[in-house]
Structure 1
Amino acid sequence: MSFSGKKFRSRREQLAYEASLAGRYQKRLNKNPFLYFGLPFCSMIILGSYWLSGFTAVRYQQKDRKIQELSEEDLIKMKTNKRDFDIKEEYYRLQGLGEDWEPKRVPRFEGESENVW
């Protein structure tokens, strides 16, 4: 057995409720739910997106300020100051290792497998 969500009102209370603003709205809402609930809800979503677009525009404008176009002089400076690329040097630099380090094979015990396939 489930309980109803409707509140019990006496006849006098029901007439007073129907005459109130909430009662008239509830009656109209039951007849046309989209017109009295769906349409205002959708319009609030649309108006809110237009209102918030100003805030998002500020966000993207700040990001655009950080990114600037390079002049030809800056581009020439970048090309002339470029260092030579060596894959081994980059590997060691990214690993945080010194340049004098070389990989060494670990000595095996007598009779230990070399694990060569």
Structure 2
Amino acid sequence: MGFGSRSFMGSKEKASYENSFVGKYQKLVKKNSFLYFGMPMMLSIALGSVLLTNFAALRYERRDEKVKEMSEDEALNMINNRRKVDINDEYYKLQGILEEHQDWEPKRVERLPGESENKW
């Protein structure tokens, strides 16, 4: 520590500082830092964790309320009313080849005169 890091206090200022709350607390922290600084810090972190857990639980409970449970009858109706799946139809849908394009055939592009055919 250099000379500029501490401000000079006279005896009256020092006595009033030591009698203040901050001065008394600083003296206690110097005696037993864990008991007066470490323990309150750890307790505040633990308390904050518990409180935040409760808030997060409320958030997820509200989200779960939006999702309703299905009865067996509703589930059976969903199973019975589903559409029949044909693998070829699904393939053509994915490829973009539908009824309006069923006559589509791949065609070789005609080459310009003098251009190679690039046949292997």
- DSSP 3-state at the match of 2:34: helix
How far 1:2 sits from its partner (Å)? 6.1
* TM-score normalised to structure 2 length: 0.70
Quote the RMSD (CA, aligned, Å): 3.1
Give, as a single letter, the amino acid of the residue that structure 2 aligns with 1:42: M
Q: Return closer, same or farther for 1:103/1:57 CA change in 2, 3 Å cut-off.
A: farther
* TM-score normalised to structure 1 length: 0.71
Give, as a single letter, the amino acid of the residue that structure 2 aligns with 1:38: G
Question: Are positions 1:57 and 2:52 aligned together?
Answer: no
- DSSP 3-state at the match of 1:113: coil
- Which segments of 5 or more consecutive residues in structure 2 lack a partner in the other structure? none
How far 1:98 sits from its partner (Å)? 5.9
How far 1:6 sits from its partner (Å)? 3.3
How far 1:35 sits from its partner (Å)? 1.1
- Residue 6 of structure 1 is matched in structure 2 by 6
- Residue 23 of structure 1 is matched in structure 2 by 23
- DSSP 3-state at the match of 1:53: helix
Using the aligned pairs only, state the percent identity. 39
Q: Return closer, same or farther for 1:4/1:103 CA change in 2, 3 Å cut-off.
A: farther
Structural mapping, 1:1-117, within 5 Å: 5-90=5-90, 93=93, 97=96, 99=98, 100-101=100-101, 104=106, 107=109, 109=111, 110-113=115-118
Give, as a single letter, the amino acid of the residue that structure 1 aligns with 2:42: C
- DSSP 3-state at the match of 2:49: helix
Give, as a single letter, the amino acid of the residue that structure 2 aligns with 1:111: S
Q: What is the CA–CA distance in structure 1 between the aligned matches of 2:16 and 2:33, rounded to whole Å?
A: 23
Tell me which structure has the larger Cα radius of gyration: 2
Q: Which moved more, 1:3-12 or 1:55-64?
A: 3-12
